[in-house]
Amino acid sequence: MDAMDAILTTRAMRRYSDAPVPDEMLMQCLEAAQQAPSGGNVQPQQYVVVRSPEVRHALADIYRQAFERYEKCLPEPVFRSGHDRLTYERTRKASQDLAQTIGDVPVHVLFLQPIIPWGFHDEEGVVDIGRLDGSVYPAVQNFCIAARSLGLGTAFTTVIRVYQAEALEVIGADPERFEIAAHIPVGYPTGNFGRAPRKDVRRSIHLDRYGERPTLD
């Protein structure tokens, strides 16, 4: 599989078999993650790889509580078409299924980022160079793309942050030192890979100035 195919067919896979994930595959994904760019090459992320059924199910209990609370906060969606409604309903059902079964997914990988001062000041004020998690998420994406290239499914989730302190306690990380940037279930999916439904990229491209639409083919 070439790189572009892996990128274009990496999507959230929310239903998994219980087949074990080989260590060598996980290491390939983690090595790909570590090669991701980061601001100033700081490479701030730490990876907690969870295989233990006891720890996975403890995280799953927290995830379910977080997901239930999150769902109650969601606004009523407005759909432009029946297709949009169908896509939303499928995604929501798959997300609900993941919340119920995430403890059975063979591997969880938690991407941690340190809680450190990030940014500078000078005589003009704040020197804003962006958020630290901007140097973590490229690693998350590299991990997911590498997994796809090996036939493994992943799902980018952050809902466990609703009860982040409890989740960090389960994995033995100090909540005063770290926060969770991403929580990624990893396994062999029971569904099919393929391009996910996305809006036409041309709706999001601007040439030179916002609002100026290019004629790119």
> Does residue 175 belong to any structural domain of this protein?
yes
Per-residue pLDDT at 90: 86
Tokens representing 181 are 């940037």
Question: Which whole-number Å values give the CA distances from 89 to 78, 79, 86, 93, in the listed order?
Answer: 12, 11, 5, 6
> Does residue 212 belong to any structural domain of this protein?
no
Per-residue pLDDT at 199: 85
- Nearest-Å Rg of the Cα atoms of the chain is 19
59-115 pLDDT, tens digit per residue, is: 999 999 999 999 999 888 877 887 788 888 888 899 999 999 999 999 999 999 998
Q: Are 190 and 17 in contact (CB under 8 A)?
A: yes
Tokens representing 72 are 């109650």
41-52 pLDDT, tens digit per residue, is: 888 999 999 999
> Does residue 197 belong to any structural domain of this protein?
yes
Q: Which of 56-70, 130-144, 165-179, 181-195 bottoms out in mean pLDDT, i.e. has the lowest?
A: 130-144
Looking at every residue in the chain, the average pLDDT score rounds to 92
How much of the chain exceeds pLDDT 90, in percent?
68
Per-residue pLDDT at 217: 65
7-20 pLDDT, tens digit per residue, is: 999 999 999 999 99
Tokens representing 25 are 């595959």
pLDDT above 90: residue 6: yes
Q: Are 133 and 65 in contact (CB under 8 A)?
A: no
Question: Which residues, 6+ apart, have CB-to-CB distance to 114 below 8 Å?
Answer: 44, 46, 132, 177, 178
Q: Can you give the CATH number for the domain in which 97 is found? A: 3.40.109.10
> Does residue 83 belong to any structural domain of this protein?
yes
pTM flag (> 0.75): yes
Instruction: Give the rounded distance of the alpha carbon of 190 from its chain centre.
Output: 19
**Domain count along the chain:** 1
Structural domain of residue 59, as residue ranges?
3-204
> Does residue 215 belong to any structural domain of this protein?
no
